[in-house]
Chain A
């Protein structure tokens, strides 16, 4: 809760910075603020499990705190990655927008009412629309922002419609009340209630960009500035999954036969479509966009498994952490490589990176291994937890499909590794990167391996 307040305060402060001329100190201030918000999360651990805030609109229980922790940690890394982004024009606007998006993300981890869910999604999305279009003289960036806005608005419409139908059936916006209503009146829920659940499902699938609702993702990812793409594929995704989980595991857990089969089909489609399309991409950024769809499918598999107490939750938590950290590392490298090639992130730009900047090549390799799910990186454990959740359920076939498509995944991740180590560089000159980015790369790489070596810290977090 305190974290949410701090980040909101920082956002407002950022808007004032232009007027009161303290732009220069804003960057360190934000970093410190995020760390403070992160640290304050620890003080709330186990503490206000049952305290109602804002008439029970929001509740920071342990699950919310854990996901906030992932989001804040990723945000910290992200701000280090994006230091350039806050140097030229519109500095304070950029700060404010990102911070408000962060506020939305934190709300999504902790909402306990349908209205807070909607607010959170909008607070998260609206800044993201603007940020996607923030390279304002670039046509692709404008297109990205526009597409994102149109598609996002559609999804919000679905969401609202769904919420309205659910409210009509159960008479409440409160998640716990809805849950209780479902368990008491399971047999005679009206048909439009199920329609409402499915509409909410569709809206959430839009937000996590699962196939067949993924068409916006690649264009938006490619058109946006690289750092914003990194933001979308990490923080936004984690927040969307936190919300997804709370909705479907907690609230609609009782009617999983309604959404289970739909979700299974969506997962299967996402796995196939994303991996096969990713394999044909020339641009690494676009490849990462498609691969993020496949990772979304994996996280959805953990939701599909549904019924194992906290196991699904901790699997998603671990997956989002592993994926976020790996992505931040990958995007840092993509950012620098594409800067060398005047914005292009084609696979050729990675040729011979091992010679031009060995450290980046090593870190990128670890990131790719992690995203591909090779032990002992964190990505492996993430996939392992999902598999072990789903095995023995009626969805065994999804595991087989996931394995087959993972092999395709290895193809495109390793294409990058092969290019870096095996192909001759197009340019001979070395690449210099900021020392802060060196630290960032080392930290993320270290985390990726450390999380793989000691997954217990995350997986056993809920006791």
Chain B
């Protein structure tokens, strides 16, 4: 029941918010998103108390003749991602308080509906339902980017939409293909995840390869992985800040989460055959994106490329298909989600206070606002995965996981640490330190809402860097479940 509430509440809230006006919209939206966060904490508590609790699963028939069920459930893995979602949405809403958007009711309504779809994606235990939520998540973000984005948003959001839609249609074909092989013994076809796993593993290696690439295409586009990433930088830069946060903080995780839950256990043979290629692409993407990030002039674009590099490492770790790799992937998904929201907020603050995001035109902001400099520093260090920040655990495990697969791949993947430090530290140095540029003169103190978000983000970065075990335990538990299915 609880898991049903987690999906229903944002939907109802979203529809309610559509009917409101002005400032009330964002306050109501914030209120509901906090309620949702509280609900997810209750779910966490419930899970700790009794992982098999009936509150954590829901299974009703949707279309009986086709074996489609509205089956959702929380296990360790989905719980972590739901927590990430419900934790980030209030922050994202809060971070928008200083931006005046037209039609705030639609803006916040869409964010909440998006939350519903995201929670659905992370909890779905039915292949069809997973696909529906997956697509559903695309609609609100498309409109958010289209209506409140920057210049030239029409063409860019369109490219984004077509890219992802194309990928997900291939995923649909892959899933239908597996579905059509279910029920070999009983004669009853089913979309239930366990049946899909079973049917997928019964396929021969060529059939599995077909399914693997169909589904990988969808996830690869969503993350994005080289060479499917070309939609990403433009979309991130042009989207409104909150849209970018949704895209990079949560939506990107749909892809990596999908890899873990909907691809690895489905096609183990294909993974043996093609895993190397996929990891190679991911690792190449890390280096490629890092190098491009180094030469970026626009700070937001730099973060966008850094995001490709990070997600490349996550994907490589997951695809190497061992305990450390997957667990590290999960940890890094959580850390990256939080950090990237912080980074994009910082980019937004820079733009609002100085009128530009161009790194060359910024400089010496630390002398105007030391407080901001510290907060920025913490977020930045979290993002380069310094020990004692939340990014470290995940990255360490990831590289370890990739190393078990192949030392060479790990060596290249490890470059992300070096390259990441290069572009992150350099940009920080240019923006915050050095001679004060003209743009920094007007840089006053931060608004209350921005400060609050940054404090929370920094707190999380440090807290889970110093004491990661609550999350790590859950991630380990979730990974073990998946590993069981891989055997």
Contacts and interface: CB of A to CB of B under 8 A. Distances in A.
A392 interface: yes
B179 A388 contact: yes
Interface in A404-421: 404, 406-407, 410-411, 414, 418, 421
Contacts of A240: none
B136 A414 contact: no
Interface in B160-189: 161-162, 165-166, 169-170, 172-173, 176-177, 179-181
Nearest to A311: B65
A384 B172 contact: yes
B422 interface: no
Interface in A427-463: 455-456, 459-460
Contacts of B172: 384, 387
Given A374-B139, A414-B158, A392 B177 contact: yes
Given A388-B179, A418-B146, A459-B63, A375 B135 contact: yes
- With most chain A CB atoms within 10 A of its CB, the pick from B136, B138, B166 is B166
B379 to A, nearest CB: 33
A422 B162 contact: no
Interface string A367-408: 001000011100010001001100110000001100110110
Interface in B118-168: 131-132, 135-136, 138-139, 143, 146-147, 153-154, 158, 161-162, 165-166
Nearest to B136: A375
Contacts of B132: 375-376, 380
B121 to A, nearest CB: 12
B66 interface: yes
Interface in A51-73: none
A279 to B, nearest CB: 11
B100 interface: no
Contacts, number: 70
Contacts of A376: 132, 136
A463 to B, nearest CB: 9
A411 to B, nearest CB: 6
B421 to A, nearest CB: 39
A460 B64 CA distance: 9
B169 A407 contact: yes
A422 B146 contact: yes
Contacts of A460: 63-65
A459 B169 CA distance: 22
A456 B63 CA distance: 5
Interface residues of A, number: 26
B10 to A, nearest CB: 16
Contacts of B139: 369, 374
Nearest to B158: A414
Given A410-B162, A411-B162, A422-B153, A375 B131 contact: yes
A414 B160 CA distance: 12
B166 A407 contact: yes
A421 B147 contact: yes
A391 B176 contact: yes
Contacts of A410: 161-162, 165
Contacts of A387: 172-173, 176
A391 B180 contact: yes
B65 A406 contact: no
Interface in B56-90: 62-66
Contacts of B147: 421-422
A459 B67 CA distance: 13
Interface residues of B, number: 30
A132 B30 CA distance: 55
A403 B177 contact: no
A383 B172 CA distance: 11
Contact of B162 (A391, A407, A456): A407
Interface in B165-224: 165-166, 169-170, 172-173, 176-177, 179-181
Point out which of B65, B135, B169, B179 has the most chain A C-beta atoms below 10 A from its C-beta: B169
A122 to B, nearest CB: 38
Contacts of A411: 158, 162
A375 B180 CA distance: 20
Contacts of A406: 165, 169
A407 B168 CA distance: 11
A400 B166 CA distance: 10
A387 B221 CA distance: 22
A414 B146 CA distance: 11
A355 B188 CA distance: 50
A145 to B, nearest CB: 38
A404 B66 CA distance: 25
B169 A414 contact: no
Contacts of B66: 388, 459
Nearest to A419: B154
B180 A414 contact: no
Nearest to A373: B169
B177 A391 contact: yes
A376 B62 CA distance: 13
A403 B180 contact: no
B63 A403 contact: no
Interface in B25-41: none
A388 B136 contact: no
Nearest to B147: A421
B225 to A, nearest CB: 19
Nearest to A452: B132
Nearest to B174: A391
Given A403-B173, A422-B146, A459 B158 contact: no
Contacts of A403: 166, 169-170, 173
A456 B136 CA distance: 20
B214 to A, nearest CB: 9
B419 to A, nearest CB: 34
Contacts of B176: 384, 387-388, 391
A3 B245 CA distance: 57
Contacts of B138: 374
Nearest to B210: A396
Contacts of A404: 166
Given A388-B176, A459-B63, A418 B166 contact: no
A384 B168 CA distance: 13
B30 to A, nearest CB: 25
Interface in B333-361: none
B452 to A, nearest CB: 32
Contacts of B131: 375
A460 B146 CA distance: 38
Interface in A6-61: none
Interface in A334-373: 369
A414 to B, nearest CB: 6
Contacts of B180: 388, 391-392
B132 to A, nearest CB: 4
A392 B181 CA distance: 9
A459 B65 contact: yes
Closest 10 pairs between A and B when the two form their complex, measured CB to CB: A403-B169, A375-B132, A407-B166, A375-B135, A456-B63, A392-B180, A391-B176, A460-B65, A388-B176, A418-B154
25 contacts: A374-B138, A374-B139, A375-B131, A375-B132, A375-B135, A391-B173, A391-B177, A392-B177, A403-B170, A403-B173, A407-B165, A407-B169, A411-B158, A411-B162, A414-B161, A418-B158, A421-B146, A422-B153, A422-B154, A455-B63, A456-B65, A459-B63, A459-B65, A460-B64, A460-B65
Interface of A: 369, 374-376, 380, 384, 387-388, 391-392, 399-400, 403-404, 406-407, 410-411, 414, 418, 421-422, 455-456, 459-460
Given A391-B177, A403-B166, 17 more contacts: A374-B135, A374-B165, A375-B132, A380-B132, A384-B172, A384-B176, A406-B165, A406-B169, A407-B162, A407-B165, A407-B169, A410-B161, A418-B146, A421-B147, A422-B146, A456-B63, A456-B65
